[in-house]
Structure formats: structure tokens, C-alpha cells
A and B are shown apart, each in its own frame.
Chain A
């Protein structure tokens, strides 16, 4: 009896996909002074296309962006060509890693999350990414004043 595959995966597509609703919360947005994205790949053409996509996306979302290309790194190794003896005959392999660095300035937390998710979902196969975020924050409340005066006051209140 031949097995015929039957599943509803491609038949039951939900037709009424509503747009995700935007929720606004009261907590203050985080601020990122700088977002540095380093993209690593083995192919220059793939990196060029990805850079064009990332730059256009940033411009459309209103983020200032700078691109520069760190120098490539080549890792080479030399192995023996044959399984047994023949030391004079070797074979050499190399792995080329090419880099592209996108620097974004002055982003809010919401914009950064949206942009990074968009970029990362469209990351091609065989490409890796490192994101370095520099977040700026206010001084926390407990560092504004030294606590020793308030501590002595509390002690006096407790003893009296």
C-alpha cells in the first residue's frame, strides 16, 4: 500500500491575519548612543548586497548610519596530501573571512529592536553577525548622595 502524504499544513492558511496591535507603555524607553554591527561572511558579493539592504532599511527608518570595511582575515593550513608517507607533497586550504561594520548612532530601544529584528531575520545563510550596543543611562538614585548621613539619622531615630 503506497503511503500518500496528507497534511493540512498548506491547505489551512489563516485568511484573516490581523495586523499586530501597537501597545504603548509608560516605562521610559532605553537610549542607545551607538550600535555597532559587525557582519562576517566568506563572500564579498553577499556582504555587498546585505550592506545595501541594511543601509536602505536604516535610511527608510530614519537612522543615521556609517559603513566601513575592516580588512579580511585568511586562515591557512597545510596538510599532508597522502594518507601514508610522501612528506614532500602537501595540500593547502584557506578560510577567508570578510568583514563589514555598520555603525548606527542615536537610537531608541524600540527602534533598535525593530531594526535589529528586521536585519537578523533577513540574514543570509553562511553569514554571522555581532552586535555591540552602548546604552546610556542616568545615575541611579542610590548613588546621588552618600548614605552615611541618612544611616546615622535612622540609627538615632531607632535608639530615641
Chain B
């Protein structure tokens, strides 16, 4: 059987030596003739009688080499429908693009290489499928799936008023071994405290609970969550945190009664050392002058004490500047009857 096969090979490729076949081997394509000459390969065991003479190749059977066809660009007219030539992203085909593009670094006193067989033109991504005509057609088809932005929400303030919560999410698209990006599970929730239904005590408690996440200048609470593996889990967790903070800040615990002066967020004049000192001084002054000591409430109601209180509160809360200091000076002078 193997002997018959080897002898068949010798007929079909007369130049063949050994068992290897090479791509440059010239095969006489006279299939039917050689079969007839050799006879059908008989059953195993019987070799066929062959002759090792050269086989004549008839011209009709031989494959004729054709001249290369002219490129498609010569048949294209100027006002053809280009999106039908390149409907999708495809590599650059020099025979299908009628532009005389040249690309490549030229040799000395030379020009960049022509487009035929140019690897640089193949490597760079081309946008031949995204001409303005094609983009307009795509958008016309996609327009049916779009909805309009509500006309009543044209400014940022209106958006803020009706939709106070802002949620930031991120998506990442890149090519690589994996489609996933671990940064995409981060969710940031931002809300302005003025849009939440909070009273004074609740607001102060919320700010203390939240700590670093509240910005005093813009009054915005920012909650960033990334402890869960999925984005929607992080979103649910952020909303849960906001709900818990809101409801906890409305509760008043027993230990909150022990709030001392160091815990206060802003300066409060009532029951402070400044009030005690001022009133004690005034009482001593009035007692020394007239012998009649007025009560503390009367003194608190007078205008000088009111002015003094206002200037001290302003100094402590807003810091020291020219206007505050002059106001404090005037009020002290009036209080002590020096002006």
C-alpha cells in the first residue's frame, strides 16, 4: 500500500526525491491522464506497473496566469455613496480608497511611500467608516431612542432645588486581558445640608457625626463608598448611610446633656465667663455710685450690655478684623462710661 502510494507520488511529482514535499514543487496538473497511464491503484499487496517517463501537460488543464485587474478606485465616481464602501471599521484597502495618500519616513531626496503595500497605513486606526455623512445617518437612526431633557430644569439652581442629591459613578473602557476595572465600583454621594429637613440640634449633631466629610464653605456633605464589590451595592450602602445619619441626628441621647463649652461649635454668650465678668463689674460700679444694686436681668436688658454682647459674639465667631475690633472698643467704652 505504501509502495503504491510512493509510486503514485513519483508520477504526480516527477522531481520529488524522498518523502518531503516542498512548496516550490511543480506539479503537473494532468490528473486524469496520469491515472489512466498508471491504472487505478489496485488493492493492497499488488503494486501498479508504472513508468518514470515525464508526463506531458496539456495547455487547457494548465493554470493560466492572469494580468492583475485594475483597482476598484478607477471605477468609482466622485459622487458615489461612500458609507457603502466602508460601512464598518475595516483595515485600509489601497485599492478601495481613491485618495493619493502617502505615509512613511522618506529616504534622502525622496518622498513618503505610496499607499500600495504601505504598512504604516494599515497600522494606524482609520476613520473611513465615520465620515460626516455616515455620522449624520447613524444619528438620524439613533435619534428615535433619545429622550429630551426637561425644559424646566435649565439652570443649576433649579436642578439643586428639585433634585438635591448628586451621585458620581465612573465607568472605564480599555483593551487588555480583562474588561473589569476595580476603580469602577466607587460611588460618591453629595448632598447640601440645607435641602435636608434638619433643625439646629440635628444639624450640629450630623456635622459632628460626619467629621471630615462635611465642607463648611460649601455646606456639602460628601459620602464616598467603595467597601462593597459591586457598584449598586455601594450605591445602596451610601443611601443607607445617609438615612442612618439623618435619623440618628434627630435623636437626643442622654449623654448629650454633658456638652461642655469646649464642644460648642460657635460661641454662645449666655452663661459664659464674659457675661459673668461684665455683669459683676457693672454691679460693683452701680453699687459704688448710687448704693442701689440693680438686678442682673435689668442690666442684661440695657442697650450697652446688648451692644457688648453682640460685639463679643462677632469677635469670637468671625475672627478678628478692623471693623470687629473698633466695634468692640466702642461698646466697651460705652459700657464703662468712658466715652
Contact = CB atoms under 8 A, between A and B. Distances in A.
A136 B163 contact: yes
B153 A114 contact: no
Nearest to B196: A143
B208 interface: no
Size class of the B contact interface (CB-based, 8 Å): 35 or more
B172 A132 contact: no
**A-side binding surface: helix, strand, loop or mixed?**
mixed
Contact of A138 (B127, B139, B165): B165
Contacts of A107: 149
A139 B242 CA distance: 10
A52 to B, nearest CB: 8
Contacts of A134: 166-168
Contacts of B138: 57, 118
Interface in A134-152: 134-140, 142-148
Interface in A107-147: 107-111, 114-115, 118, 120, 122-140, 142-147
A154 interface: no
A129 B147 contact: no
Contacts of A133: 168-171
Contacts of A146: 197, 202, 246-247, 250
A109 B136 CA distance: 22
Nearest to A56: B135
Nearest to A119: B173
B301 to A, nearest CB: 37
B169 A61 contact: no
A131 B159 contact: no
A22 interface: yes
Interface string B114-157: 00000000001101001010011011101111111110011010
A67 interface: no
A137 B167 contact: yes
B124 A123 contact: no
Contact of B168 (A45, A132, A140): A132
B164 interface: yes
A148 B251 contact: yes
Contacts of B164: 138-139
B147 A110 contact: yes
A114 B174 contact: no
B163 A46 contact: no
A-B complex: 10 closest residue pairs judged by Cβ atoms:
A60-B139, A124-B125, A128-B174, A146-B250, A136-B163, A111-B146, A129-B173, A110-B147, A131-B171, A137-B165
Given A31-B150, A53-B135, A106-B149, 10 more contacts: A45-B124, A108-B146, A110-B145, A115-B146, A126-B175, A129-B173, A133-B169, A137-B163, A143-B197, A146-B202
